[in-house]
Chain A
Amino acid sequence: MSPASPLRIDVQGGEPRRLRLEVPSDVEYVGEAVELIARHCLTGILSPRRVLFNLRTALAEALTNAIVYGNGEDAAKVVRVQVELGRDAVRIRVSDDGAGFDPAAPPDPTRPENLRREDGRGLFVMRHLVDRVDFNDKGNTIWLTLQAG
């Protein structure tokens, strides 16, 4: 982490252990935020391979969506991340201040007519890399669940 980085992870003990992180609405912080959280998950219930690939990729997607589409890259807003390191699963909550979106809406990016599109794969990728993806009713909070293993 660079000395000027505003990212500070808050680690709370107990059961389940919790991590909290606020990320400015700037995509430049996505990589660093992902590394900070992944580092705390490497010694837990998930295999290192799943942390380093599935968790990192899915979290990068969720953060990017929250920063770009949720908060509109508004520097006055932050994205809030909370991670629960449970005995059976790791649950990651990512919340933004946006109006939310309809998770049923994105078209299938693997259809031939969509294959050459540059965007539209984020939710599809997340759903394949974690065990469960949930949204709140408004659509501005996403939960990513990775079961132990």
Chain B
Amino acid sequence: MSFTVKHERGIITLGVDGQLIVGNRHELKQKVLDALEGGGRRFVIDFTQTGYIDSSGLGVLVSLSKKIREQGGELRLAGLNEDLQTLFELTKLDTLFTITRTPQEAVASF
């Protein structure tokens, strides 16, 4: 499991490769917080290469969304496959996040 970080037009896109679960959520959180500290305000988390997300992973997304908003920024999610989209819908977290089909759409939507 690993994360990729891409900067484009002032937007920071973090790709989640594999899974976002209890064992790696802190790594993602730290990457976002470091970028926030460095002045980043617009974030996309790209799940195109993500197999599964557990409730700890969902929790860290909720936490990051709050921290980014507190700094006047915004977090958008992208690239959820059908199963992950269903997970967000059944937990109603789809109502908390702006979710786009692709990371390109998320970047373009800022």
On A, residues with C-beta under 8 Å from B are 27-31, 34, 49, 52-54, 56-57, 60-61, 64, 68, 109-110, 115-122, 124-125, 128
Contacts and interface: CB of A to CB of B under 8 A. Distances in A.
Among B23, B55, B92, the most chain A Cβ lie within 10 Å of the Cβ of: B55
23 contacts: A27-B23, A28-B23, A30-B21, A30-B22, A52-B51, A57-B87, A60-B19, A60-B22, A64-B21, A110-B91, A115-B95, A117-B62, A118-B63, A120-B55, A121-B55, A122-B55, A124-B55, A124-B91, A125-B55, A125-B58, A125-B90, A125-B91, A128-B90
Contact of B60 (A60, A64, A118): A118
Interface of B: 1, 18-19, 21-24, 51-56, 58-60, 62-63, 66, 83-84, 87, 90-93, 95-96
B96 A116 contact: yes
A115 B91 CA distance: 8
Contacts of B92: 110, 115
B32 to A, nearest CB: 14
A52 B59 contact: no
Contacts of A115: 92-93, 95-96
Contacts of B63: 118
